[in-house]
Amino acid sequence: TVDGYRSTGGIRGAVARSADLLYDGLTAEQRDTLRSILLRLITPSIEGDPVRTRVPSRSLLGSPGRERVVAMLIRARLVTAHDESFELSHEALARAWPRLQGWLDDDVNGQRVFRHLVMAADGWDSFGRADGELYRGARLESALEWRATTSAELSDVEVAFLDASGELDVSQRRALAERADRETR
| Mean pLDDT for the chain overall | 82
Q: What is the pLDDT of residues 71-106, one digit of tens each?
A: 888 888 888 888 888 888 887 787 778 887 887 777
Residue-level pLDDT at 13: 64
The pLDDT assigned to 5 comes to: 47
Which residues have CB under 8 Å from 108's CB, separation 6+?
44
Residue of 64, 61, 73, 62 lying closest to 34 (CA atoms): 73
pLDDT of 131-179, one tens digit each?
989 999 889 998 988 888 877 778 888 889 999 999 999 888 888 888 8
Per-residue pLDDT at 163:
93
* The residue type at 107: D
pTM, full prediction: 0.68
Helix ranges restricted to H, the chain: 2-7, 10-24, 28-40, 57-60, 64-75, 92-96, 98-106, 108-126, 137-149, 156-184
Q: Which residues pair with 50 in a beta bridge?
A: 44
